[in-house]
Structure 1
């Protein structure tokens, strides 16, 4: 049974029949269910044991589901809450969602829809696994629960048992070097060196010496013999990262090394045998580079015995929350900060982002929010800042609606010279409801009359009228 399916849920509903039905459905799905009939009982239960998720009806006796959510949010900010609502309470549920409720379901709802929503919420809030079984240590750095990555890792582990050259493809930031290290750890060469070199980051004049070594006096600055990376990785694995950026002249020499399994240092007349497993990686389209004469076809086929393609982060969205929590735990320890995770709406923002920089970008975003966070819980605003979300999007739905309502009412009162009957008619609301709206926003109609300032005790200027 999946780990998420063993999660403990707290279910709150004053309808005994509904509570029994929910408990049966969720229990049959593998969840551990604690069922209570009121918000007060739910809060008492939270004092005894913290669940992984709360599922609550909105309409409850005494303290309602929205008030219960506010109390849960104050006590356990990262605990996801799902509301069950009738049609009449949808506006309240929408506002609660904007304040941080994970989501809501409208009655009547399908059992499948309920289980999917619960699974999504648990996936977002699930912490990264702190350890791996002994036989999974080879992939300990790769945090994932997605089927796409599971298939890739299964291939990688099989490939690791051979000495076949591997070409890793994938966009920048997808984790090609991390996968290369995992392949090395799963191989018979695991106890020998793993060395990585970025072929695009080293000038051509230095790259040859860095790869193959040089003898003393081979060039002006060669003041001593130098072993290249091929010799340093002897018996182990050499990762040639960004192989597509290797200069054409060096491609010829690399091909010769792969064919002869020996290197000749610069300035030497003798070749040195090397036993190295080659893994190469690129984000470039090597077929297109070959067509343009920028990459040798014979070298391509020598390197491309087995190809593994890493998915983008957008193609494995179910891993985003897991990775974010994993990175946050590591970085909180690095910065010496206490962390209680991400607020539910902050995790939702992370999972919905485009991530053009993939896992590397996600790590950088989490490092920024960890460094800047002043509270244990990472907020939505901090995540949006790190994602460089435009400021207009930072305004919550509830705040935006509140602002619009006030500005709309002020405009109507100005237009009607403070006449409530006329303003209510324009708004297509009855006067009682309109007065309640005015009271909600602390607006006094008399202050909008054109002669309001002439009355005794009137303020010379009312700030409300200037909104």
Structure 2
């Protein structure tokens, strides 16, 4: 349960008495003698209650109430009043004050009012958190597309990890969306309003790597004109995304390890340590521990980076998502290029599902744009590597059932009629493909 209370009163004896009562009852108390001081320091979404005197020099309690209400209408404010201020306090309650206590009041009266206010505040904040999580889930569904079981699991993992202050290692093939996942981990977490800095470790020449990452002072090396802030320092409070981390030079791996351990950096040419607060998200194609065993990567750094690991499935492992993704990329390309989105024939759809997509989502997006431009059709592959006829048929079957569920908004009878399947057979196929009727009830399609 919440237990934070801010007390605002210009009379020191009252502040001290209230603090003593509340502290002995297990409350966390902060004291202010002026409303202006309180407003400057009360945090957004304050998890507690404001207890304020009405008559104070400068901004009085009613003005403080009005300003707090403007910031957060659900923040409980309890007013402390003299006898002559009771009618005024009643009016203030109509304007949003939670309660008022007439001086002198007993500790029991104060504690009772505070506990009721804190219970209400806890419910409000819990409700907000639930709404925010639901909003985040919807936004994430519309960003990391796909309704395959692996993508549903990935979105749940991203939503959970976005809230945690831990380093994350993302593993996936070229074009599988590693930077997008890193961006989601940042955008849906508490660091969203701070910088997101992406660094491709394979694209920086080794001799410039340290300066890029840590910055430099003027004259630190030949050509270093003026002071430069490095990527790590620039990202203070936010996230650094280190793509292709396996390409980082060994000498810089030692320094990055020290940064992670000590949360400090030193610019090239400087002896001064600078405190930084960054979250590290790294991405790699190979297994870093395999790289460490081969002597190409530091094992201790691999463990530091891999507090949590996300594996991005290649497109060939989630073929049922291909039609949805291709349609999405086609619509985006058509809107951007001022053209009509193409309608795929059954043969073209078969080609999409049979291709191995070595470039993954990036290759699929490129194919969709080329289709919109009329340059060629979707890529085809006569004998996709590792894909039997049965696997291709399974992917196509999942797509057909999902499309029917989407069109009929989860109406099982309508889907049975369209696909000419008995209910038991449809249920078995839906279970095998990870399809749940409830996911299709709210709208034309479950975004994914």
| Band of TM-score, shorter chain | 0.5 to 0.7
Work out whether 1:359 is the aligned partner of 2:361.
yes
C-alpha distance in 1 between matches for 2:185 and 2:145: 15
1:305 matched to 2:307? The reply is yes
What residue is the counterpart of 1:230 in the other structure?
232
1:260 aligned residue (262, 274, 278): 262
CA contact (8 A) 1:235 1:275 kept: yes
- In the TM superposition, residue 349 of structure 1 has moved relative to its aligned partner by 0.9
Q: Does the Cα contact within 8 Å between 2:245 and 2:282 map onto a contact in 1? A: yes
**Shift in Å at residue 250 of structure 1?**
0.6
Q: Any conservation in 2 of the 1:165–1:279 contact (CA below 8 Å)?
A: yes
Q: Distance in 1 between matches of 2:248 and 2:225?
A: 26
Alpha carbon RMSD of aligned pairs, Å?
Answer: 1.9
Tell me which of 203, 206, 210 is aligned to 1:204.
Answer: 206
What SS class does the counterpart of residue 200 from structure 1 fall into? helix
Aligned pairs for 1:56-455 within 5 A: 135-372=137-374, 382-383=376-377, 386-387=379-380
- For 1:311 and 1:134, the matched residues in 2 are separated by 22
Q: Which secondary structure does the structure 2 equivalent of 1:195 belong to?
A: strand
- Cα distance in 2 for partners of 1:224, 1:138 equals 41
2: CA distance between counterparts of 1:279 and 1:249? 20
Q: What's the TM-score, normalizing by structure 1?
A: 0.51
**CA distance in structure 1 between the aligned counterparts of 2:187 and 2:152, rounded to whole angstroms:** 17
TM-score (norm 2): 0.54
- Please give the per-residue CA displacement for 1:365-392, whole angstroms capped at 9, x wherever unaligned: 112222235xxxxxxxx325x55879xx
Aligned equivalents of 2:235, 2:163: Cα separation in 1: 18
Q: Secondary structure at the match of 2:335?
A: helix
Q: Distance in 2 between the 1:242 and 1:266 partners?
A: 23
Label 1:300 to 1:363 Cα distance change in 2 as closer, same or farther (>3 A). same
Query: What whole-Å deviation, never above 9, does each CA across 1:260-292 have from its counterpart, x for those lacking one?
Result: 101111111111111101100000121221111
Displacement of 1:345 in angstroms is 2.0
Partner SS for 1:156: helix
Shift of residue 347, structure 1, vs aligned partner: 1.8
CA 1:209–1:140 in structure 2 vs 1: closer, same or farther (change >3 Å)? farther
Aligned to 1:103: none
Distance of 1:180 and 1:294 partners within structure 2: 24
SS in 2 for 1:239: strand
Q: Separation in 2 of the partners of 1:139 and 1:270?
A: 44
1:331-382 residue CA offsets vs partner (Å, 9 max, x unmatched): 1112111224322321221111111111111111112222235xxxxxxxx3
Distance 1:134 1:166 in 2: 19
Task: Write the distance in 2 (CA, Å) between the matches of 1:336 and 1:136.
Answer: 28
The answer (yes or no) to whether the contact 1:138–1:185 under 8 Å persists in 2 is no
Q: Distance in 2 between matches of 1:224 and 1:185?
A: 33
Cα separation, partners in 2 of 1:175 and 1:353, compared to 1, 3 Å: same
5+ residue gaps, structure 1? 1-131, 374-381, 391-467
Change (3 A) 1:172 1:286: same
Report the number of matched residues: 250
- Write out aligned runs for 1:13-92 (5 A): none
| 1:241–1:280 Cα contact (<8 Å) kept | yes
Decide whether aligned partners of structure 1 residues 262 and 139 sit closer, same or farther in structure 2, where only a CA change above 3 A counts: farther
Give the Cα–Cα distance (whole angstroms) in 2 for the partners of residues 291 and 177 of structure 1.
26
String of CA shifts for 1:46-80, please: whole Å, max 9, x gaps. Answer: xxxxxxxxxxxxxxxxxxxxxxxxxxxxxxxxxxx
